[in-house]
Structure 1
C-alpha cells in the first residue's frame, strides 16, 4: 500500500505495489540458464523469469504496483443485480448495513460477487500478485515449506493448505520446484480453500490436474497434480480440511480481502460507519452509489471485537486515533489456525500488505488496475484493507499455549533469507539481455524498496519494489522450534 500521484497509476498488484502504489481509502470521510536443482523449469519454459508485468490528487495510502493493462471490463450484471440485492437487504432491515457486510456481499455474493464468476488476476484482470510477477516467489515459499516439514520431523503425511490460491500460480511453482524431493512429495495432501467455481477451474488447469474415477470406491473421483503426483482437494472453508494430520498453511494475500468494520471517534464515543441508500428526489428511486457513510452505535457483538482490539493496544496509541478498522473474521480465522496447529502440529505462513499496529483507515477499491470509489458499481471492483498483524499475533496467542508466533518481518527479509539472491544470480548466468532485464525487474519488485535504480525505460513504468510493503508472519507449534528465517 506508495505515495504516488494518480497520473502515474497505470496498474495494480493486489496487496502492495508491484510497479507502483496501491493507494487507499476512498471510503474515508476525510475523503535461460537451465534451472539448477531443486528448481526444474516449467514445462515448455526456459529458465528465465517470464511473469514480469511492465508496468491530481495525492494518495497517502498505497498497496500495489503499476501495470500497463490491456482493455478489460466487467459485465454489468454485478452492477445491477448486486445493487438491487444490497438495497433489498437494507430495505428489509429498515436500516443500514455495516461496511463489513457490504464488503462481504461485494466480494463473495454467490451470484454476482467480485471473486465468484471471473478471473480477476493478471493482465486481463484487476490486479497482479507476487506469484504472477516471478516464479521465484513460489520457489522461495517452497523452500520455507520444505524446511518446516523437516522441522516437523518429516511426517509421512501432511496437509499442505493454501487459503485463496488465486490462479494456483504459487502452488504450481512450489510443487514444481520441490518435485525432486521424493519423500516430501509423497507426504503431501494438497488442500485448496477456494470459494470461486471459476478460480477452481483455473487452478485445476494450472496445476495440471488429472481426475481418476475409482470404481472400487463407489465411483469416487480422485484428483492428482501431474506436477508431482500429489492428491488435490478443494474446499469452501478451512473447517472442511480434515484434521488429524499436521498442517502447513499458506495465506498469501488472503487476509486483506476479509471484511472489516470501520469505527469513527465521536463525541458519543466510538461509532460504526454504515452503508445506506438514499432517495433521488428527481427520479424517486433508491441509490446506493456515492451515498455518504454515516455513523451508528455498533451492535454488542461488534463492540466486543472493538474493545478487544483496543485492549491489545497501548492507551496512547488508541488516544491518537480518530478511526479504527477491526476484522473479526481475521481474528476468528487466526484462532482456528492456531488451534489446529496446536493439536495436530505444523505451521502457517501469512504474507500480506499491512502494519504491525492498529489500522485506522485503509479500505480501497481497484477496478481494471485503477483506483475507484468503493461505492461505485458494487461487485465490479476489488475491495481490500491493510492487515493488522498485531491483532493476528494476539489472536493466535490467545488460542493456545502450544503455539508460538514469529514476526512480522518484511517480504524482503523473508525472501533473502530463503535464498532468492542466489537464485537470481544462477538465472542471470545464462540469459539474453531481455531476459536479464525482466529478471531484474521481477527481482526488484519482490525485494526492492521504492523505485528501481537500474530502470532505463519510460518513467511511468518504473518498477517499484514491494520488499518492505508486504509483511510475513509465522504461527507454529512450539515443539517444532523457531521456523526459518524468523530465528
Structure 2
C-alpha cells in the first residue's frame, strides 16, 4: 500500500507542477478510487466502522421497512433489491434475512467498484449480481434502493469567497506538500444567490456526483416504481464550511497527506438532494435523524428481544443500540432520506406519512 500511495503522490505532484493546481474533486475522486479498490477498509481491523457493522439491528430494521413498503404497495412481482456501495454486504444480509420472514424475496443487485469488497460481498450474499453503475440494473421492474454511507465518499467540489469574488478551491503545491489554493476562474454564477455576498473565506461545498446519482435514482423510481433509503452523515440544510475529512485506522488525519491511503469523506447536503428528487416527480418522504428513525421503527424493542435471547451480551447489545441512536453519537449527525415512487405508499419513520 505504501508504494501505491507513493505512486499517487508522485502522480499528483507531477501533474500539478506540469499543469497547475488540480480541483479538490479530482484529488478526492482519484484518492478514494485508489483507496477502495485496494482494500476492505471496514471493521475494527480497518479504518472505520459503519452502522451495519455495529449491530445487526440496523440492517434488520431497514429490511423490515422495505418489506412493509412492498406489502403496502400490494406485493408487486419481480421487485429488485439494489444497494449502492454495499461495503461487506452486512446490511444486505441482515435486511434480506429480516424481510424474508414477511415473504419479501427480491433479486439482489450491488453497485460496487471495489475489487476487494466484491470478493467479501460474494461470500456474504452469493446470489447477488454486480454492476459498475445503475445503467445495467434491471429497467422494467420496481426497485428497492438502499445506500448507506455511499454519498459521503463521492468527490466534492468546494467554492471559496476571496477578495474579488468566488473561486474554486484547488489543490496545489508548497514545495512538496499539498496545500489548498484558490483557482483563477470566477465562479460566482455557481453560488446560490443568498450566499454570494458572504464574508471572505466562506467555503461552500457541492457534490456533482451525489446530485447525478440522486437524479438517476429518482428517475428510475418514477419510471419503474419502488422506494429508496439514503442513510449518511450530513446536513438537513445547506451549511457553509469545509467538511472534508480523512480517516485512517479510526483516527482523523490530514486529507492532503498520503493520498490513496485514507478514507476521504464530506457531509452530505440532503436539502439539495431532496430538491433534485422532487424535480423528477418522486415523493420525498422526509429527511429524519437516524436516531429518531430507528426509534420509530422499534429499535428499543428489538434490542430488548436480542438481550433476552442472549443475556450475556445484553450490555454490548444496548451499547450498540445507543451508538446508533443517541444524539451525541450517530443519532443526530446521521440522517435518513426516504423516497417513494408515484403511487407507492409512505414508509414508516417519516413524519407526515
Q: Same fold (TM over 0.5)?
A: yes
Please report how far the alpha carbon of residue 278 of structure 1 lies from its aligned counterpart in structure 2 after TM superposition.
Answer: 4.2
| Structure 1 unpaired stretches of 5+ | 1-74, 210-223, 225-231, 280-286, 451-464
Q: Give runs of aligned pairs for residues 71-470 of structure 1, distance below 5 A.
A: 75-92=1-18, 94-108=19-33, 113-182=34-103, 184-185=104-105, 188-207=106-125, 209=126, 224=127, 232-279=128-175, 287=176, 289=177, 291-298=178-185, 306-307=190-191, 310=192, 315=194, 319=198, 322-359=202-239, 360-398=241-279, 400-401=280-281, 403-433=282-312, 435-450=313-328, 465-470=329-334
Please report how far the alpha carbon of residue 481 of structure 1 lies from its aligned counterpart in structure 2 after TM superposition.
Answer: 3.3
Please report how far the alpha carbon of residue 317 of structure 1 lies from its aligned counterpart in structure 2 after TM superposition.
Answer: 9.6
Please report how far the alpha carbon of residue 247 of structure 1 lies from its aligned counterpart in structure 2 after TM superposition.
Answer: 0.7
Q: Secondary structure at the match of 1:338?
A: helix
**TM-score, with structure 2 as normaliser:** 0.94
2:69 and 2:345 in contact (8 A); partners too? no
| Structure 2 unpaired stretches of 5+ | none
**TM-score, with structure 1 as normaliser:** 0.69
Cα deviation 1:137-164 (Å, max 9, x = unaligned): 0000001111121233211101210000
Please report how far the alpha carbon of residue 299 of structure 1 lies from its aligned counterpart in structure 2 after TM superposition.
Answer: 7.5
Q: Secondary structure at the match of 1:166?
A: coil
Please report how far the alpha carbon of residue 483 of structure 1 lies from its aligned counterpart in structure 2 after TM superposition.
Answer: 2.0
1:412 and 1:446 in contact (8 A); partners too? yes
2:143 and 2:226 in contact (8 A); partners too? yes
Of Structure 1 and Structure 2, the greater helix share is in 2
Are 1:481 and 2:345 counterparts? Answer: yes
Please report how far the alpha carbon of residue 298 of structure 1 lies from its aligned counterpart in structure 2 after TM superposition.
Answer: 4.5
**2:226 & 2:247 partners in 1: Cα distance?**
35
1:270 and 1:297 in contact (8 A); partners too? no
1:116 and 1:198 in contact (8 A); partners too? yes
**1:98 & 1:333 partners in 2: Cα distance?**
20
Cα deviation 1:179-202 (Å, max 9, x = unaligned): 3333x21xx111100000110000
Please report how far the alpha carbon of residue 429 of structure 1 lies from its aligned counterpart in structure 2 after TM superposition.
Answer: 2.2
Q: Secondary structure at the match of 1:380?
A: coil
Please report how far the alpha carbon of residue 424 of structure 1 lies from its aligned counterpart in structure 2 after TM superposition.
Answer: 1.1
Cα deviation 1:176-225 (Å, max 9, x = unaligned): 2223333x21xx11110000011000001122x2xxxxxxxxxxxxxx2x
Please report how far the alpha carbon of residue 293 of structure 1 lies from its aligned counterpart in structure 2 after TM superposition.
Answer: 1.1
> Structure 1's 316 and 375: CA in aligned 2 closer, same or farther, altered over 3 A?
closer
**1:121 & 1:243 partners in 2: Cα distance?**
31
1:410 and 1:471 in contact (8 A); partners too? yes
Cα deviation 1:60-103 (Å, max 9, x = unaligned): xxxxxxxxxxxxxxx302221111222343345x1111000000
**1:469 & 1:419 partners in 2: Cα distance?**
20
Cα deviation 1:91-121 (Å, max 9, x = unaligned): 45x111100000000001xxxx110011100
Aligned length: 349
